[in-house]
Amino acid sequence: MTKLAAVLLPVIMWLISPVFSFPDGAPISSCGFLFPKHNHLQQQTSSSPFVINVSSTSYSKGETIQVNLTSITPLMKFIGFVIKARRVEGNTDDIVGQFVDVDDEKIVGLSWYPATDGAVNCLTQANNTPRALVTLNWRSDADVGDVIFSAAFVQNFSHFWTGVNSDVVHGNESAADSQKYSAQAEILSHPSTEIREVSVGCGSSKGCFLYPRFCGSVKCTSAVSYQVMGDDRVKFEMFAKSNGYISLGLSKDTLMGDDLTLTCFMSNGVGKIQFGYNPKHYNVKHSAAEISDVQISSEDGFIYCSFVTPKTMTLTHYDRKHNADGSHVEPPEFTKVTKQMNLDEENYLLLAVGDVYQGTSDVPMKHIVLPVVSTKPVRVAAVNGSETVYGTGLSLYVKSHAILGLISWFFLAICGMIIARHFRWEMPRVCCGSAVWFQMHRCVMILVLLCSVAVIVLIFYGTGKFTTSAVAHAVCGLVTIGLCLLQVFVAFVRPDQKHKKRPVFTRFHKFGAFLIYVMAGATLILAPLSPILHPGLRFHLMWIIVTGFVMYAVWEVSFEIMRYCICTFEEPDTEKMHQDRIQAVKVVWFATFILFSLVLTILAAVYIGIA
């Protein structure tokens, strides 16, 4: 029941999300990115109809400034917003100051880094009531230099604007920490030889995490190296094929969720580094102020990145408390959450790639291709940890699902069909009350059905959900199983051989078998078309599957041609000799098919196994 709920709940939520998306305010993580993530929709490219006005263009420590969120025209209203204050230059990641006197019940105060005392430094709406004006009060108890207010406005689920900024509010020019840190990286016009050859020296001078398995120094499609620098620093170098970002996750297990991340962005000529956290299946942005020596470049569709981090980094934020039904506690209450990245501990390494949202340089979209996961946990900061570990792009459940599916429909099902179609007259003997060919056909097809059921169980147990990018494959697979069960039911109620309706059953059974195999073929072909698979695996699987189906078609046509030639051009001495020749051709041709099909199945299983 739990697994069924895990499968159905995401589908239901996906369907109703346009109506009920964040009715009680944006999630607290929105304070980091200021980007509403509404079903992967992009922001509007037109000018925002909503603006931020400030009561003063300068401030001093302890002074309160009025901030108005307003619509340019009274007819345009927004149902949601998120706003914060940040520095104009230097450390633009941290939120500065705090909002005070927040007594409007329609507004929820949030606390984001670097606040450690629960101060309200970010605001959002409390419900989705349309409004044209919101008045706020902001104060800074420290000199933080020039600041601007940044916000995102939501008009409706599919129309929203981000990166809406106020005029600059000037502060004390001598603020000591305003230039302390910048998330922007040094951009290299070409990746250095050192970064390009990440995997050179693996296992000797540095530790490495490489993909695919058994790749050499120049054949890896993605790689991460790590090397201890002194007593408390670690240098990372990594590359992967991506147009937006590459992200290294450190996790206590092989699944996404409760992971700390180090992400390199390269988009629109802007490179950035980001330290983050994955509570579940999304990323939360945090300060990367402790990361140094960042270099990023992009070439031929690959992102190359190097940076240095401390062995330990800590992030702290506040999460809103929830009721048992998942709704927020009202009035808002918060729980302090502290996470620590410790490179002296063992962690599984996960490497994900993806794009960024349009018009942004550091707001990651959810990756489509499955992350590469290390085959064992790694102590990155181990002084003598100069070992090489390889990654896998598929979990054990997904691999078992794929291999068992191929064995069922790429090998066993075809064998069962050939036995029924071509060997029923060559096996006249009876065993246990039925013809031998029928016993063999029935056993093989029952095995196919059992394997197919196991295939479905494996994938749903392993993932617990529908993968939206593989819906067509999943639907075809489920339809195939449904037709198989119908075929079994019809077989149980089939009439006796001498019954007048037996020919009707036979035609229906043959047509059902043909339809099932067409659906199974579509399921197999759709699998490597899924964008969640890595390109190399998709190419090899498609080549093998297409080759197998072409081989089967060629086998059928060739066999019919050879049988026709024997029947037409040879003059056998007896009818028995004639039949013996045809049977010999069948046996040899069937053995050839089995051998070739078995080789392709094993080859596909090997590719899946090492993926």
pLDDT in tens, 42-98: 888 889 999 999 999 999 888 999 999 999 988 899 999 999 999 988 778 888 999
Tally of structural domains, the chain: 3
pTM: predicted TM-score of the whole model, two decimal places = 0.80
Residues 451/484, Cβ–Cβ less than 8 Å: no
Mean pLDDT of 152-158: 91
Q: Looking at the domain assignment, is residue 127 inside a domain?
A: yes
Q: Which of 346-350, 388-392, 564-568 has the lowest mean pLDDT?
A: 564-568
Residues 242 and 379 in one domain: yes
Are 148 and 282 in a shared domain?
no
**CB-based contact 425:419 (threshold 8 Å):** no
**Is 229 within a domain?**
yes
Classify residue 35: in a domain, yes or no: yes
**Residue 553 scores a pLDDT above 50:** yes
- Over residues 536-558, the mean pLDDT reads 85
Per-range mean pLDDT, top range of 48-62, 109-123, 483-497: 48-62
Range from 186-195, 244-253, 278-287, 580-589 carrying the lowest mean pLDDT: 186-195
| Most confident stretch, 76-90, 461-475, 531-545, 562-576 | 76-90
Q: Tell me what pLDDT residue 573 has.
A: 55
* Closest alpha carbon to 104 in 130, 76, 125, 82: 125
Q: Looking at the domain assignment, is residue 11 inside a domain?
A: no
With a pLDDT cut of 70, the percent of the chain lying above it is: 84
| Pick from 8-12, 380-384, 436-440: least confident | 8-12
Q: For all residues of the chain together, what is the average pLDDT?
A: 82
Asked whether residue 175 is assigned to any structural domain, the reply reads no
Does 376 share its domain with 464?
no
Q: pLDDT at residue 18 above 80?
A: no
Looking at the structure, tell me whether residues 194 and 148 fall in a common domain.
Answer: no
Distance CA 167, CA 353 (A): 35
* Same domain, yes or no: 411 and 534: yes
- Give a yes or no: residue 16 inside a domain: no
CATH (domain of 403): 1.20.120
- Which pLDDT score is estimated for 232? 87
pLDDT given for residue 430 in this prediction: 64
76 with 197, same domain: the answer is: no
Whether residue 195 sits in one domain with residue 115: no
- Ordered DSSP codes for 161-213: EEEEE---BB--TT-TTTTS--SBPEEPSS--HHHHTTTTTBTTTBEEEEEST
The reported pLDDT for the residue numbered 8 is 43
Do residues 509 and 487 make contact, with C-beta atoms less than 8 angstroms apart? yes
| Whether 156 and 211 share a structural domain | no
Report d(CA 399, CA 396) in Å as an integer.
5
Asked which of 325, 358, 392 is the last residue of a domain, the reply is 392
Are residues 292 and 200 both part of a single domain?
A: yes
Mean pLDDT, rounded, for 430-453: 81
- The residue from 165, 198, 227 where one domain ends is 165
454 plus 599 within the same structural domain = yes
* 17 domain-assigned: no
Amino acid (one-letter) located at 156: N
Q: Per residue in 10-37, is it b (16+ CB within 10 Å) or e — as a string?
A: beeeeeeeeeebbeebbbbbbbbbbbbb
Say which residue, 502 or 385, is predicted with more confidence. 502
Q: Report whether pLDDT(9) > 50.
A: no
Q: Give the mean model confidence (pLDDT) for residues 183-206.
A: 66
**456: pLDDT strictly greater than 70:** yes
Domain of 581, in residue numbers: 396-610
In a domain, 180, yes or no: no
| Residues 330 and 342 placed together within one structural domain of the fold | yes
What local confidence, expressed as pLDDT, does residue 204 receive? 78
pLDDT tens sequence across 180-191: 555 555 666 566
The CATH number assigned to the domain holding 90 equals 2.60.40.4060
Q: What CATH number does the domain containing 347 carry?
A: 2.60.40
Residue 197, pLDDT above cutoff 80: no
User: Does residue 144 surpass a pLDDT of 90?
Assistant: no
Whether 508 and 550 share a structural domain = yes
Query: What local confidence, expressed as pLDDT, does residue 574 receive?
Result: 56
Q: Which residue has the higher pLDDT, 389 or 198?
A: 389
Please give the residue that has the higher pLDDT: either 495 or 429. Answer: 495
Domain boundary among 165, 195, 216: 165
Work out the average pLDDT over 517-537.
87
pLDDT at 565 over 90: no
